[in-house]
Structures are given as C-alpha cells and as structure tokens.
Amino acid sequence: MSTSLMSGARMLLECLAREGVDCMFGYPGGVTLPFYDCLYDHHIRHVLVRHEENAAFAAEGYARATGRVGVCCATSGPGATNLTTGLVDAMMDSIPIVALTGQVSTKLIGSDAFQEADTFGITRPCTKHNYLVKRLEELPQIIHEAFYVASSGRPGPVLVDVPKDVFQAQGHYQHVSSIHLPGYKVFTEGHTGQIRRAAQLIRKSERPLVYAGGGIVAAGAAPELRQFVELTNSPAVNTVMGLGALPSDHPNFISMPGMHGSYAANMAMTNADLLIALGVRFDDRVTGRLAAFAPHAKVIHVDIDPAEIGKNRTPDVPIVGDVKQVLGKLNQLLADKEPADAQLEAARSAWWNQIRSWKEEHPLQPVISDSEIKPQHLMAEIDRLSNGQAIVASDVGQHQMWAAQLIRFSEPRLWLNSGGLGSMGFGLPAALGAQFARPDKLVFAIVGDGGFQMSIPELATIASYGLPVKIIVMNNGYLGMVRQWQELFYNNRLSSVTLDCFPDAEKLAGAYGFKGRTIDKPWELASALEAAVKEPGPYLLNVKVSPLECVYPMVPSGGAINEMVLGPPQPVAESAK
Amino acid sequence: MLQVISLLLENKPGAMMRVTGLLSQRGYNIESLTVARTLDPEVSRMTIVVEVDSTLRQQVIKQMNKLINVLQATDLSDSPSVFRELLLVRIRMPQETRAAVLKEAEIFGGRVVDSSTEGFAIEVTGAPEKLNEFVDVMRSYGEIDVTRSGVVAIGLEPKKLKLQPPVPTKAGAKVEETIH
C-alpha cells in the first residue's frame, strides 16, 4: 500500500510519525530547509536547541528517561560533526537514539561543496549503524530499519544522512511491513542448559553477590532483578549506569562499586565466591586492576551482547540473552526451594553479617560543616527533596560521583549520567530532554561549574520552552575531579583547573528571564533548594561548596578495588581477608 | 601472530569500511585484504590477514560478527583451510639467463603472461610462503617488480551460514495514514 505523492522531507516525517516520535531535538541549516519547511505544520514537536551537540544529549536524556528512541536532527557539515560527541556518548552507554542529518545534494557529494562533510564516514565508529540515503525509494526502509536497530538487541545510536535532493524528490511512501537484516542477530532467550548451571551455582554459593548494571535498565528487567535478589537473598551492587535498577532503599542493596564506590560494595566484590553479573561490562572504573578483581569469585555473566562475554573477565557460566528473559527463567528455577542446608544457611548469614559490618565501618555518609557547604551536604539535601522520586541528570566529575553515592533512586530511568564516555556538558541538555519526555517529573540538573559553562547556551532553550528544570551548580571554583588527581598524583601542581570567573547566577538567570541565586552558607542550603523546587519555572541555584573537597572512597588508577583510599589522611583500607 | 579472517558481508556501500575501521580503531595493521562477490551477487567474501594478539582474536571475531552488514566472520588461522595468493612479477634480465628463468618459473608452476626482448611477466599462484621463495629466486636473476593479490582463503570444514529471518515492523502494523 502506498500513500499520495509527497516530498522526501514529508516522507521522513511520515516515517517518524509511524515510529511514534512525538518530539525531536535539532537545529536547522541549509540542506535541511525542505525538512524544516514540512515540520512547520506537522504535529511532531521540534525543540530548537542552541547547539547540535546538545540536541544529541537532549535526545539521550529523552531516551534515558523513557526507554523510547530519542531523535535529534542537524544540518550537513558542522551540524553533523557537532552531533558526534552525543553519538559516541550514546554508543558507550547503549542508549537508543536516531540522528538525522542533512547532506549536500547527491550530485555535489565529493565536490567539497559548502557545508559538506563525510558524515557517513565520520560517524561510522560513533554509531551502532549508519546510513547514507542515495534515493528516495530507500528512505522509508532505512528509517524504519534505523529505529529497529537503535532499539533492539543492545541499544545504540543510528545515524541517517539524507541529501538535500532526496528531501526534495517526490514519491510515494511505500509501506514497510518487515525489516530484513540477515546479519543482525538479536539474542533473546538464554541457553537453557547454562541457565540451569547458573541456578545450581547460585544455590550452592556461600557468598553470592549481584553485580547489576545498565543492561537491567535497558531491558526493563528491574522487577525480575528485585524478585531474583529477594528469592536468593543476595546482596546487590548497582553500577553507575544501573542505579535505580534495585531501589536504593531495598535492604539487599549495598551501593555502587568501583573507583568511587562504597567500601562495602568493593569489599563484597573482592570477597564474594559468586558474582552474578547482569547487564554489565566489567568496565575498568568498576574492576580496578582486573587481575585482582573478585579473585575468589566464580562468575555468571548475562549480557545481550556476545562480544561483552569474556571481553574483560572470562565467566564460568556465560549466558547470552535478554537479561529480563534470563532472569525470568532463573527465578522460575529458583522458586523451587531445595531442602534447607544448615551449613549453607550459616555461611550465608555470616556473609550478610560481614557485609553489614563493612557498611557500618565505612558508610557513605554526608560530611556536614557549620561554616561552609560541603558538596556531600548538597547531595544529601537534594536527596531529601527528591526522596528517590526525582529525575537527576548529572554532568561529569566530582559532583557526579557524590550524587551517585548519596542520592537515592526508587526505580530505573531517574538517574541519567554519561557513564562510559564521561562527556562534560551532558547534564543540562540531558535534563532538558528528560523534562520534555516527563513533564510530570521534578527534574534536577546537577552540574559542576565546569560542565555548566559548556552548556550555558541551553539556558535559552530552557527559558524559551519554560521548562521547570532545577539547575543546581555545585560550584567549587575548580575542575574538581582533575584538581583532585593533580592534588593526589601530581604533587598538587594545579595546572589549568582554576575556574576563577563564574557569572552571577541571579543576573545570568535573570538575563534569560528566570530566577537564580547564589548561596554559600550551609544554613541557607535547605531553604534555597526548597525555593528552587517550589518555583513553577526553571531555577538556577549556584551553590558555592568547599573548594578542596575530594571524592572518597577512591581506588587509585591501576589499584585493586579493595585498596581504597578512604579519606583525606589517606589511611589504606585493610586488605581483604 | 597473523590471523586469517574470512568474512561474508552484504555487498553494500560502506560495508568494507566498517570491517577495516573496526581493525584500525584498535590499532591493528592489515597485512592483506581481498574482497569480491560470491555466487550471490549481494554477498561478498573478504579475506583479511591481520596481526592480532592471540588473546584478542576471539574478541575481534565477535566484534566483526556484531557489524550489521557482516553475515559471518570466521577465524581460519587454526582450522583446516587452504590459503592461496596470486603474484605477478615483471623481470628484466640478461639474454643468457632467459632459459634459466623460464625453468625456475616452471618449477613454481608459473606461467609467462608477457615476453619481450628485455624479459618476462610471470604469473604464479600458491601459498604465500611459496611465493616469497619465488620472489627471492627471481631477484637473483635480475631487476623485478612484484604485485601480489593478498591471500584468499577457504575453510575446508563446512560451516553453516545462519541468516536471520525478516522481522515485522511496528510501523507496518499501522495501516492508516498518519498525515491527513
């Protein structure tokens, strides 16, 4: 079946509408003029950002907050190259976005035409897959394929480059009833035999530990994870990509492991006899020195991407599959209780006692001072106001780690951060995208004074759409994380990390037409945050915190994760037993 | 250690770039690469010889299999297989050694494809090591120019090609037009 005659630009919109797109983030330009002309009276909402990089981050924010495919759009040449950081960011964190770029007319490709760049070539390693549309007839198939590829299997970014003459050509939308990608295998069900072996290992384990990550969020497997953790009464850690996969208040939840993970989480990793790794990739920020990582543990590794299995750690039980389905089957097997084994019960209860005492020895708790605002104090206050319910989009750096340590999340898709790529400038546009996706939600953008200044242009977008995003700048006057490393590992030679000029927040926000304020007294903190939250529109709260605070615990680069530096006097943690 | 990878990939623009890009982004240097259509004109066969650390070989194959245009990537380094390469050599040598050069070419199964008063152009196929020897021998007779095709390989054990079936689209389910 086909529709009436229409332009390529209109056909593209037809495809997007059929994919259920309600909102996209973009920036127009010369070659996308035909597309923007069609958008003029189309129901799909186009959000005009102020820089293409932020269009990609906003699309990510939208996707991360909902699980739906985020869409961004840019013109050829500089528009497309500006998208690339967001594409790689989405690639690293497995976030489904579709990027649409304009290209110079097919006849001009290769002629160094105005605003021509090899977008297809440039974005090849930045995307899960990419396309250059050569003829209008290919367009519907390619667009529907792009959405399928972005959202299926291990999600990721897909880019479609559309030349201007393809936008302008006239044709009929041909119905796309199926997608045939003979070389694209989407793994769903795990191997039954391996799942049974996993269940046996789990039953016999004396010191099990669940290590759950972004894969749980992507698969929508939080209910299955919770059931699994409760059935097996296993302690669980969530990675920085998996926060919220298990509610932070759940009694079995320990916290985040890794470089800035909690003492208890890292000690549990090091001492576990079985690691149940679910939708994680044994990232270096989690494992520390790989050779010393979880040295006593057998590993069950469930992931939808076969290339992740055995990449960094060879598992004892590899299971390639959708973690939601695999956990569902595991839960069925584990629901049949076996006769009680007194010895095993005793070992399990000793394991739990050990974990509780690790938690008590070195809890993650906010440092609070009478004279200055400690960054941890700021996060604790945001946590109090959020109560596990708000969306928190974070930028990258110290504030990101403190937020991850101290803010609770009751469900997935509340904590949005650039985990893999660590892109500064992510937080504010991601919050913007999330607020469009979830207008009902309280959205915080927690940013540093460094990353915020990379995102300042988007204050205009926030103001223009009246988005009630609460922008909280944790302002320590430094590029804090780099400063921390210079202090600890480069003899405190603070090279190019001082941010000695920061705009007056009240005037800055005022210039955009909304409220802003700067505070630096701890007794002002609670009421200032409350006022920001109560404000119906956007709010910029610049919080001056103690400038020289470092994030602890910290595993020095290349160290084993049980060798944490726990605080400023730097006592070395007792090594694992 | 050199790894020989045999790939079946869709004959689509950019498909080859995805494969070579995957290697170059990991810093691997490609020793040789051949690509041509198979019996099915929509599918190409690529043979790549590349130096990959033995611990990473499996990972490279998995990453290649993840590429959407790759139908199958197989490591032939340790499995029963035949490797062949074509070599063309142009040799210029003194008149008195013409007979000797022809004799050597014959020993290597070579075929003269051009002959002039100055010398010959010779075509030889064989395993890559054999061709190295042939080059050494020819060099001892005169001035040479060499072009090699790179290795083509075929696995001797049958390997079933598993292709994914079409999947219905979400968009396809909506029959009504969304634009009025």
Closest CA to A248 of A349, A129, A379, A144: A379
| CA A380 – CA A377 distance, rounded (Å) | 5
CB atoms within 10 A of CB A355: 21
Question: Is the CB of residue A443 less than 8 Å from the CB of residue A389?
Answer: no
Q: What is the mean pLDDT of residues B5-13?
A: 95
Looking at residue A5, its pLDDT comes to 95
Handedness of CA B131, B132, B137, B139 (dihedral sign): positive
* pLDDT tens-digit readout, A253-266: 999 999 999 999 99
Q: What is the mean pLDDT of residues B150-172?
A: 88
Closest CA to A319 of A348, A279, A353: A279
Looking at residue A577, its pLDDT comes to 41
Q: What are the structure tokens assigned to B158, written together?
A: 């049958």
Looking at residue A542, its pLDDT comes to 98
| CA A32 – CA A52 distance, rounded (Å) | 13
Percentage of chain A lying above the pLDDT 90 cut: 95
| CA A262 – CA A564 distance, rounded (Å) | 9
Please give the interface size between A and B, counted as residue pairs whose CB atoms are below 8 Å apart. 96
Q: Which residue has the tokens 């104090």?
A: A377
- Dmax (CA) for chain A in angstroms is 77
Using the predicted structure, report yes or no on whether residue B43 has a pLDDT greater than 50. yes
Those residues whose C-beta lies under 8 Å from the C-beta of residue B140, and which sit 6 or more positions away, are none
Looking at residue B111, its pLDDT comes to 96
Q: Which band of pLDDT confidence, cut at 50, 70 and 90, is reported for residue B54?
A: confident
Q: Reduced to 3 states, what is the DSSP secondary structure of residue B76?
A: coil
B15 to chain A, minimum CA–CA distance in Å?
Answer: 10
Using the Cβ of A491 and the Cβ atoms of chain B, whether some distance falls under 8 Å is answered with no
From chain A, the residues in CB contact with B172 under 8 A are 144, 175-178
* pLDDT tens-digit readout, A458-487: 999 999 999 999 999 999 999 999 999 999
Q: What is the mean pLDDT of residues A268-284?
A: 97
Using the predicted structure, report yes or no on whether residue A574 has a pLDDT greater than 80. no
Looking at residue B55, its pLDDT comes to 86
Whether residue B59 and residue A311 make contact (CB cut-off 8 A), yes or no, is yes
* Of B13, B25, B171, Cβ closest to residue A132: B13
Using the Cβ of A572 and the Cβ atoms of chain B, whether some distance falls under 8 Å is answered with no
Q: Angle A119-A63-B63 (CA atoms, 0-180°, nearest 5)?
A: 55
Catalytic residue, chosen from A107, A114, A361, A521, is A114
Q: How much is the mean pLDDT over chain A? A: 96
Tally the residues of chain A.
577
| Number of alpha helices (DSSP H) and beta strands (DSSP E) in chain B | 5, 10
Q: Which band of pLDDT confidence, cut at 50, 70 and 90, is reported for residue B173?
A: low
Looking at residue A340, its pLDDT comes to 81
Using the Cβ of B167 and the Cβ atoms of chain A, whether some distance falls under 8 Å is answered with yes
| CA B61 – CA A82 distance, rounded (Å) | 32
From chain B, the residues in CB contact with A17 under 8 A are 178-179
Whether residue B168 and residue A178 make contact (CB cut-off 8 A), yes or no, is yes
| CA A216 – CA A194 distance, rounded (Å) | 19
Whether residue B179 and residue A14 make contact (CB cut-off 8 A), yes or no, is yes
Catalytic residue, chosen from A481, A514, A563, A564, is A481
CB atoms within 10 A of CB A216: 29
Looking at residue A162, its pLDDT comes to 98
| CA A423 – CA B89 distance, rounded (Å) | 53
Whether residue B163 and residue A121 make contact (CB cut-off 8 A), yes or no, is no
Q: Which residue has the tokens 């494992």?
A: A287
Looking at residue A576, its pLDDT comes to 43
* pLDDT tens-digit readout, A424-442: 999 999 999 999 999 999 9
Question: Is the CB of residue A415 less than 8 Å from the CB of residue A243?
Answer: yes
Looking at residue A337, its pLDDT comes to 80
Which carries the bigger pLDDT value, residue A2 or residue A487? A487
CB atoms within 10 A of CB A40: 7
Using the predicted structure, report yes or no on whether residue A151 has a pLDDT greater than 70. yes
Looking at residue A2, its pLDDT comes to 64
Q: How much is the mean pLDDT over chain B? A: 92
Mutate which: B164, B174, B175, B180, vs A, most A CBs within 10 A: B164
Looking at residue B176, its pLDDT comes to 46
Closest CA to A411 of A525, A245, A208: A245
Catalytic residue, chosen from A11, A128, A164, A405, is A164
Those residues whose C-beta lies under 8 Å from the C-beta of residue A459, and which sit 6 or more positions away, are A428, A471, A508, A509, A512, A538, A540
Tell me the three-class secondary structure of A2-60, residue by residue: EEEEEEHHHHHHHHHHHCCCCEEEECCCCCCHHHHHHHCCCCCEEEECCCHHHHHHHHH
Looking at residue B180, its pLDDT comes to 37
Using the predicted structure, report yes or no on whether residue A167 has a pLDDT greater than 90. yes
Burial of B148 (0-12, 13-18, 19+ CB in 10 A): middle
Looking at residue B175, its pLDDT comes to 44
Give yes or no: A114 in active site: yes
Whether residue A183 and residue B17 make contact (CB cut-off 8 A), yes or no, is no
Whether residue A124 and residue B21 make contact (CB cut-off 8 A), yes or no, is yes
As for the ipTM of the complex, it is 0.91
Looking at residue A1, its pLDDT comes to 55
Looking at residue A250, its pLDDT comes to 97
Whether residue A129 and residue B59 make contact (CB cut-off 8 A), yes or no, is no
